Amino acid sequence: MKALLPTSVQIPKILTIAGSDSGGGAGVQADLKVITALGGYGMSVITAITAQNTLGVIAIQDVDLAVIEAQIDAVLNDIGADSIKIGMLASPEIVQVVANSLRKHDITRIILDPVLRATSGASLGGDDTAQAMMKELFPMASLVTPNLEEASLLLGRDISHVDDFKSAAEKLLALGPQAVLIKGGHLDSAHTQLTDYLMWRSIEDDLEIIQVKEFKHPRVNTENTHGTGCSLSAAIATYFADGHDLPHAVGKAIAYVEAGLQAGRFLSIGEGPGPLWPMFEFYPTALPLEDQ
């Protein structure tokens, strides 16, 4: 191992295992922007190549399984990772390769965003993939972050109201992860205040207890929401790698994404829903003239 010099600087190292978004608003591209904006060192494993833009997903090509495994080994054998974010895994076979590789490297700090459908509605993984995630990756995950549609697909029933969050989180937590975050961004547009529901396991006096925290925040009035889920899970992984406990990392990440949505409200990128603006702390975007 290379010896550290007295002046060596260590920063959080975050590996994202996800699909590539050619439009730059979601997937690995969004993850790396967020990780960098929050002061982490981002690395990537590409699981699929997508041809997509703000209007939708045009084509998907899975990466060869041996190449996915080689990417994971290349990064973890040399650089290592303080946390790992997992996004799009388009097939059960990819899920299995990723799970086997992470077990081999004894990785324990995993933020799993069970991406099964794009914002545009395109399928990014079927029921077989969902079942494989629940069996192979949920028991390894520090946190699973489904939105309402993903939670519905995973549980096989409609999750569409705040009253459903507790039971949904309980059922998903029973599958083995240390924590579950049910994201409320897909609540009916009549909800001007959104709720994200975190349930996690903790140990007190050698006993496991289940704790809950609700994060309530205003809905940002914008169509530029592409890649919001990817950005949130990448932010959680970065804060987690930087030493924040999980509830604190989740709260900071939610605030970061809300600020990114506010900053990106007036961005004009493509003809469809654009992305949030992850670099708002460094490059604030200009408001329309009438708002200045």
**Catalytic site positions:** 183, 225, 227-230
In this prediction, residue 116 carries a pLDDT of: 81
Q: What is the pLDDT of residue 66?
A: 98
Distances (CA, A) of 132 to 61, 143, 276: 19, 17, 30
Single out the residue of 105, 175, 95, 108 nearest to residue 141, CA to CA: 108
Sign, Cα dihedral of 262, 264, 268, 272: negative
* Token pair listed for 117: 């459908």
Q: CA–CA separation, 77 vs 92, rounded Å?
A: 25
- DSSP sequence for 112-180: E----B-TTS-BSS-HHHHHHIIIIIGGG-SEE--BHHHHHHHHTS---SGGGHHHHHHHHHTTS-SEE
Task: Return the pLDDT at 212.
Answer: 97
pLDDT of residue 242: 96
The pLDDT, as a whole number, for residue 25 is 96
Largest alpha-carbon pair distance within the chain?
59
Sheet with 41-53, strands from edge to edge, namely: 56-62, 41-53, 13-21, 83-86, 110-112, 143-144, 179-182, 193-204, 207-218
> What are the phi and psi torsion angles at 230 (to 5°)?
-60, -45
Q: Which residues of the chain have pLDDT under 70?
A: 1-7, 117-125, 186, 188-191, 286-292
For 13-291, which CATH class? Answer: alpha beta
- Each domain of the chain, given as residue ranges in start order, spans 13-291
pLDDT at 292: 45
